[in-house]
Amino acid sequence: LVGAHGRAGRSTVEVGGAEIGPGTFTLIAGPCAVESAEQTLQAAQMAVSAGASLLRGGAFKPRTSPYAFHGLGPAGLRILSDVRAATGVPFVTEVLDTRDVDLVADHADMLQIGARNMQNFALLRAVGTTRRPVLLKRGLSATIDEWLLAAEYIAAAGNENIVLCERGIRTFENATRNTLDISAVPVVQKMTHLPVIVDPSHSGGRRDLVLPLSRAAVAVGADGLIIECHPVPEVALCDGPQALGPEDMPELAALMKDVPRLA
């Protein structure tokens, strides 16, 4: 189902009025985690100022340590819905547990499957039975074949509205949080009709790498970007070191304006 449909047959996925696919370049931006109504609204306004047509923000956060901030849960979903009402911009948010799929799908325009759950087959099947588009992030150490078979689980359950996200993979290198596998973008675009976006924030794990890696994503032909931003990155409860701050948004906006778009 997700195998190549040929160059002319590349798919566009529609998300609450925004489009991800060929001929366009979509920016998704927002905080790593929803922390408060004010922080989420401010981050959303930053995202829109840079040209984002979709917001991101985690209400349910997968964290390495059980003692870290795990998100506001249902209250975070309500904040995201309020911010959508205030800005008119749809949002994507992660679902971690099959038991939460219906709740998250009731609020969100798009469901995110995070890297750590890429092979949570029960969760893939569960989001596959919803009508919401799915953002499927590549697993920490997943091969491209494994990633596409994970997408196949969602499609086989009845939902073919899938966007793939390259977010960096585990390598021996530790100067960056992960290693952005930039070749995955054109490789995957040949193997599937699904749109492919890049997450430069989790790839590099460093604010100073977000713009350079974003330019690489544009150059290689990605269908969009998903980027973390925060009104005050220094006090972020999650992933502050990789979040863009207000002073970084003009450069991101300039990049978005310069992206060559096909007619």
- Beta-carbon neighbour count of residue 89 at 10 Å? 23
- Compare residues 112 and 161 and give the one whose CB is closer to Mn ion: 112
**Segment near ligand PEP (CB under 6 A); pick from 47-55, 109-117, 152-160, 243-251:** 109-117
Figure out which of the listed residues 15, 51, 84, 94 binds ligand PEP, where binding follows CB under 6 A: 94
Residue 70 interacts, among ligand PEP, Mn ion, none and using kind-specific CB cut-offs from 5 to 8 Å, with: none
- Beta-carbon neighbour count of residue 170 at 10 Å? 13
Q: Least distance in Å: CB of 56 to ligand PEP?
A: 7
94 binding Mn ion? (CB under 5 A):
no
Contact between 182 and 204 (Cβ < 8 Å): no
Figure out which of the listed residues 16, 22, 51, 58 binds ligand PEP, where binding follows CB under 6 A: 58
Figure out which of the listed residues 132, 137, 177, 193 binds ligand PEP, where binding follows CB under 6 A: 137
| Burial profile 70-83: b = 16 or more Cβ within 10 angstroms, e = fewer | bbbeeebbebbeeb
Contact between 216 and 182 (Cβ < 8 Å): yes
Residue 250: exposure state from Cβ atoms within 10 A (0-12, 13-18, ≥19)? exposed
230 binding ligand PEP? (CB under 6 A):
no
What string of DSSP letters covers 142-175? --HHHHHHHHHHHHHTT---EEEEE--B--S--S
32 binding Mn ion? (CB under 5 A):
yes
Supply φ then ψ for residue 135, to 5 degrees.
-100, 110
**Segment near ligand PEP (CB under 6 A); pick from 78-86, 114-122, 184-192, 229-237:** 114-122
Binding site for ligand PEP (CB under 6 A): 32, 58, 62, 94, 114-116, 137, 167, 199, 202
Binding site for Mn ion (CB under 5 A): 32, 239
